[in-house]
Each structure stands twice: as C-alpha cells, then as structure tokens.
Structure 1
Amino acid sequence: MMKQPILFLSILFLTGISLLASCSKDNNLEHYTYYKPVFKSKAEVRANIKSGPVRNVVEAGKIFIRDNYLFLVDVNRGVHVVDVTNVDQPRKVAFILIPGCADIAVRGNFLYADCDKDLVTIDISNPTSASLKKVIPNIFPEKFYYNYYNGYSADTTKMVADWIRVDTAYVKNINPQPNVLYAASSPSNAATTTNGTGGSMSRFGLLNDRMYAVSNYDLKVFNMADASNPVFVKNTILNQGSIETIFPYGNNLFIGSQSGMFIYDTANPDNPVKLSQFTHARSCDPVIADNNTAYVTLHAGTTCGGYSNQLDVLDITSLTNPVFIKTYALTSPRGLSKDKNLLLICDGTAGLKIFDAANASDIWLIKQLPNMDAQDVITYKGTAIVTTTKGLYFVDYRDPVNAKVTGVIPVSK
C-alpha cells in the first residue's frame, strides 16, 4: 500500500490532477470532483499496455491518423482508437492503456508513445487487439514526474497506472468547529511501413524512416527502418530552448519554440543541421509548411508569456533565409492545417476558422465555426478532425462556405 504522503502530494500537484469547481450546494455541502492516482509497478503497467473496452474521453490531447483509424491521446491515460471509415459516423472501437502518455506517432502497423519516461512500441495491426512490442526505458528523462514535489522523491519502481474519479463533499465551516471532508460517492467506472499524419501540436514527427522527438531543449533521433524495432540514434541539445512542436515537411524539420521558428535539414537523417531561424515575440508557436510558405501561429498566455495572438506567414523559397510576408490578427490561435488553398486554424475560444490562403499576402476568412475551444486539427478526406476542450469534433469543409459539424466524440469527466 502506498504511504499517505504520496496520495496527499499527488492530489495537490497540478500535473496529475483534474479538480473541478464546486457546482452545487445542499445543506451546507459543497461538492467537488478530483482524480486520484492509482500506483502500480512498471512491470504491472507494461503488462497492461494493450487494447481494452472503449472509455469516455477525459482530456483530449494529441492526434494521429493512419488509413481509417484515428488515434486520440487521453492525456496521461492512454489512446482512444477511433474508426473513421465513415468519417460522418466516427466510432470508438478500443482504448489502449498507456499511463503517462502525451505524444504519439504511427508508422505502418505500429504506434509509438511516451509512457512516462519510456518510449513504447505497440503492435496495432489489429487496433482492437493491440499489444506491447518493445520498451526503450528512460529515454525521456526530461519528463517531470509529479511526485518529485516539495523535496519528496517517489518510488522509482512505481508509476501512475490510472486515475480514479472521486466525488467529494465539503461541509462548510459555518460554526467554529473543524471542517469535514468525506467521499460522497464511489469512483466512476472508470503491414506496410507508411507513416501516419499528426497534428501541428505534436512533439513526435515522422520523416521517411526516422522519428524525431523534441523536448523543451533537445531533439532525439530514432531509426524506424524496422517499424517494430525502433532504435535510439542520438540526442542533440538545441540551444534555442522552450521548444514546443515539430513538423516534418519535405526533407526538413520545422521546429516551433516560444521564441521563433527553426528549420533543420535532414540530408543526413541522423544528424539534422540547422539552416535558419525566424525570431518573433515570445509566444507559443506551432508551425506548418506547404510548398514555399510557412505558417506560424502565435498565442499568448500564462504558460507562453507575451501578448501576441496572430498568424505570421513566411516565404521559405530560400530555406536558409525565411522572409516575412504578413501578419494576420487572431484571437488565441493554436494548431493549424493546410489542404490545397484552404488554411484551417484552431483559434481557441473563437473556434475553428477556415481561410482562403491562395495568396499568402491576402489570406481571408471564409467560415468560422464558433462554440468550440479548438486546440489542434488534422484534415482528412474533406473533414477537419478538431481536438477541443469539449471533445473531438468532425467538420465537413468540402463546401467551405457551408462547413458544418457532422460528429462529436465528447469529453465526459
């Protein structure tokens, strides 16, 4: 049994907790919900990395698509497998339990994910019967494990295997007597080697037979020639710092950071070389590229700092000398995607925006779909698959003027 301080610190720490504000009052009770960590040994965790029954989405994260399957990260919990054969009627078909998961990539019949500090390779030749194939342990030491808090070092043989919802009620301290905290209810029930496509907010990027993974300050290279057996090649420290995203395009890597966009050449795939950079005001910064143009969204916030909320468009005809074209004002942009002349931008609480980007100097809004806190987007057969704080939205944009939501997989805490 875990010691009491572990549970106490885990509940307090923000990385591992989902604490909801009070939503009702009854007889001087205030009701709250939080998620309590379930600890298991690493061996137990790895034994349970496999497909299981579908689950509710708690926190929609990164997305990756290959063929007719969409893979949606449920932050720190695992990956939902969604069949999009009929994109107008998406359906969850399985849930792969991967504790500590934030990023994924898919190559051929294999899914790669971070499992706390490990990289796991999962056979998804049958996504409803996925199984663990390989583990590269402690390859992501930079991932902050939440139990290292207030001077307390967690038991390194254990990790969080799952989260249990707990509903609690707090007795208001109306009279001068001690407060009481107690549980108000029980926990809820809780092939080929082609590369898939990820969203623009990803930290994992596939380019030919390599996978590149960025952290706040480094770039890791993995040889994926044998998709079932990824091999770690090298780690390069990036002097830029505050790295957030990676977007492979052509033979290059477009890396977004809070201070700018950086372009790396992969002529030698195991030794990417910096070609150039475009520096901007401090903001969060996903980036995509298409033909000779790069699109960089900047958004401000408590994490990113700065005050910029905009789209910067760059001419990258010369990769060694990106040239600024124009800035477009936005509300709070995040991820983005391009489909021919259409540019789709997740503009936070302003929703999904679809632009005509045929002329980089004169990008104009075609359609805005509000009422969704849009975070990232992948375009797939005329459908925009959008992650939001409310869940996964499917938007038919084949007629962009009349683009509409055709399906939703909601968040259900």
Structure 2
Amino acid sequence: MRSILAITARLMLLSLSAFVFAGCAKDNCQQVRTYTIYKPVFRTKDSVRNNIHSNVARAIERPGKIYVKGNYIFLNEIDKGIHVIDNTNPAAPVNKAFIDVPGNIDIAVKGNVLYADLYTDMVAIDITNPLQVSVKKIIDNLFPYRLYGNGFNPDGNGSDQIIVDWEKRDTSVVEYCTQPFFEMDGGVFIATSGSNGVKSSPFGTGGSMARFAIAGDRLYTVSRSDLEVIDISVLENPVVRATVSVGWNIETIFPFRNQLFIGSATGMFVYNISNPDQPQAAGRFSHVQSCDPVIADDNYAYVTLRSGTTCNTTINQLEVLRLASGSVADPQLVKTYPMANPHGLSKDNDLLFICDGIAGLKVYNAADVQNLVLLKTINVNAYDVIASGNHALLIGQDGLYQYDYTDRNNIRLLSRIEVKVP
C-alpha cells in the first residue's frame, strides 16, 4: 500500500512534469530539476524503548510543548524526545539531558512521573531524578490515529520498525518528457526550484498547544476526535478507563476545576468531570472553522483563532466568552479582539499573555474583559507561554525565553536558550 506522502509526491511530480512537458518544444524535451530527498531512519521497537533514559543533552532544534516541574523544565523536541533543563536559576538555565522518545509531541507530569506519546503508544517515565529517568509502563496503540511523520509509512517495513530520524540530501536530475519521474525507494520527494520552489519536510507538527491535561487522578488526552480517560491514581501504572467521542478536528484541552475546555476547529466544547471516568458534555460555543487553543478562569473562557493552518480560515482574533454565573452550559461571546496570528495563551490573575506569532508576545491587563489594555509587546515569534507567580516561560521560533513580570510595567528578560537551526 502506498503511503500518503508517496501519493502526494507523485501528484506533485505529475504537475511538475506537465510544466516540463509544456516547455519541451523549447527545451529539447528535458529539464534539470533539484529535489530534496528525506529518507526515514528506522530502529526496532525494542531498541527504541531500551533507549528511553537520560541521554547526553542535545541542542534544541524544533521546540514544541513545555512542562514545568519543580526546578526542571521538560521541553518537547518535536518527533524526537524531551529536553531536561535545570532551571534552579532562571537567569542561567542549564540544558542537562535528553530523553529519546521518537514521535513525541505531548507531555504531562504528575508527581514524579512524566507521561509522553511515542507515536501511537504512551509511555510513563519515572523522573524522580530527571538525570536518571526510567520507563515504568508503556500502553500500546493508545493513539491509533497518530501516524509517522506526516503520515509516512513506507511499504516493506513491519510493525516492529519505528522512524527515529530522517536523512536529508539534495539531488539534481535531468527529467525527460518520456520519463518525467525521478524515484528512490523509501524516499520522500520535495521539489525545490530555486526561490519559487515547493518546500516541505516529512516531520510532524506540534499541533495546537496541549493535548494532554491532568485533573485530579486522571490524565485526559485528545486526538482528532476522541477524549481518552486514563487513571493515574497509581502514577507508575496508568490504566485506560474510557474513550469518549467528542467530535472532529479537536485541537486542545484545558482543565479548570471540574471541567475540561476542549478546543476544536469549529468551536469550544465543555465537559463536566465530576465523575472523572465519565466526562459529560456540558456546553458548547460554535464559531467559524479555525484552530483554537482555549483557557478559562472562574468567569470567562479565552479562545484564540488563527489562519495559516489546516483549519482553513483567514480569521485571526481573540474571543472572550462569558461563563454566566460560573455556568458553562451556554457560553456567551463578550468581545473579540483582532490579532495577527495568535497561538498559545496564559493568564495569571488579571494579566493575559497571548503568543501572537510573528507579532510577538502580547501582555494585556485583562481586569476589564470589555477593554483589554495592551501593556507590552515582546518582539519574539511566539508559539506558547506559561505564566505563573510573576514568571513567564515562552517558546519562540528561535529559543526558550524566561521573563520576570513582578513589575508589569517593567517586564524583564531573565534568560534565553537559543534554538539551533538544523
């Protein structure tokens, strides 16, 4: 069976060959094309699992989700694993180790156990000593819809094989009208034609902020359509309790008190978890199709909508929804605020932090939701932020930033760990 990317590549090359054929009369029916080829690097499942421990620290290249536990920061390296950063001194954080977890996108921590996805599986890792971690349990096939990088699953490789990396090289070939395809077994083709070429890669994406959330003794995870309920009352022995169908194009999950706020491409769903093993639909707010991270407090939910994604919309804005008298049954839109390309957001008391993509990290006084007051814009291509106790952690395109906002009128940069350009 052909992989999704192989089919896509052939269609792309068909369109390119049509272009070449149109110029055959002028170019003697041939043209030089340059391609970037990505070939998957495989390891056996056993060898991958045996390598999940605290390995030598490595440079940050493609940062994703972030989790803070005590004096340590756990930072996802998309599809590769987790950086362990000693943050005892936020002004001088130290990248101490790397936990190899291929296919990892999401993480969550409770007590001394870190939960992470390993492509379709979930792994529970003991982080009592973050520099000497160990695997406690693996749940197979918990995320059946999670594929290899962008759906790539080449023919001829059994279920025991896991992609751990991609080898990249550029090659130029002469294409003829009678032989328009250039093909290498097991490779992924991305056409590049100078500055106007089509450029892509087989790597996965980080999605839209958190898909793992812990509330009480349960870990809740969302896929594109389902909500998984995982009992973590015994931290080292997670047990799946239920699977709840939520809808389609689910993006994020945010726990608050006894509710889960679930962001989707078409709206915000609210589930009551008074019975933690049986989440019940409690409310919904619909909007146009868009990707939308969501957070909430006692009275309001804050939703960001953005363009430039697979959610197919041109809208970029913040929506503030009222949870009337604490009720989530019928959220009401209070106000919208235009944004450039908003991603993750966080709130600490009346300060609202919004990662507005290339427009930077925006810090608002949100004491009056009808009149948000912009206090500061920090010029970083911002993806996600965690703000608590006058300390903000920001994931940007070019690094991990930390800020002190004790004085909201003088927000200070404490440190930055640079992202290495691969």
Interval containing the TM-score (normalised by the shorter chain):
0.7 to 0.9
Matched, 1:305 2:307: no
Distance in 1 of aligned mates of 2:360 and 2:151: 36
**Match runs of 1:184-263 below 5 Å:** 201-238=209-246, 240-263=247-270
**Match runs of 1:6-405 below 5 Å:** 36-146=39-149, 149=152, 152=155, 154-160=157-163, 162-163=164-165, 166=168, 168=169, 170=171, 201-238=209-246, 240-316=247-323, 317-370=326-379, 372-405=380-413
Distance in 1 of aligned mates of 2:393 and 2:36: 29
Distance in 2 of aligned mates of 1:88 and 1:32: 43
Q: Summarize deviations over 1:322-359 as a string: whole Å, max 9, x none.
A: 12111111110000000111000000000100000011
Distance in 2 of aligned mates of 1:347 and 1:56: 25
Say if 1:345 and 1:143 are closer, same or farther in 2 by CA, change over 3 A.
same
Structure of larger gyration radius: 2
Distance in 2 of aligned mates of 1:386 and 1:164: 28
Q: Which AA in structure 1 matches 2:381?
A: D
Matched, 1:410 2:418: yes
Q: Which AA in structure 2 matches 1:389?
A: Q
Contact 1:147 1:154 in 2 (8 A): no
Please report the RMSD computed on the Cα atoms of aligned residues, expressed in angstroms: 3.1
Which is further off, 151-160 or 127-136?
Answer: 151-160
Contact 1:200 1:337 in 2 (8 A): no
Instruction: Tell me what 1:195 maps to.
Output: none
Q: Which AA in structure 1 matches 2:283?
A: S
Sequence identity of aligned pairs in percent? 44
Distance in 2 of aligned mates of 1:334 and 1:404: 22
Contact 2:34 2:172 in 1 (8 A): no
Distance in 2 of aligned mates of 1:369 and 1:148: 36
Contact 1:200 1:376 in 2 (8 A): no
Instruction: Count matched residues.
Output: 372
Q: Summarize deviations over 1:74-104 as a string: whole Å, max 9, x none.
A: 0110000111111111111110000110101
Which is further off, 333-342 or 141-150?
Answer: 141-150
**TM-score normalised over the length of structure 2:** 0.81
Instruction: Compute the displacement of 1:388 (Å).
Output: 1.7
Say if 1:34 and 1:362 are closer, same or farther in 2 by CA, change over 3 A.
farther
Q: Summarize deviations over 1:159-193 as a string: whole Å, max 9, x none.
A: 01x32665x464697xxxx9x99xxxxxxxxxxxx
Gaps of 5+ in 2: 11-32, 175-179, 184-206
Counterpart of 1:46 in 2: which secondary structure?
Answer: helix
Contact 1:200 1:247 in 2 (8 A): no
Instruction: Compute the displacement of 1:116 (Å).
Output: 1.1
Distance in 1 of aligned mates of 2:53 and 2:322: 44
Q: Which AA in structure 1 matches 2:354?
A: I
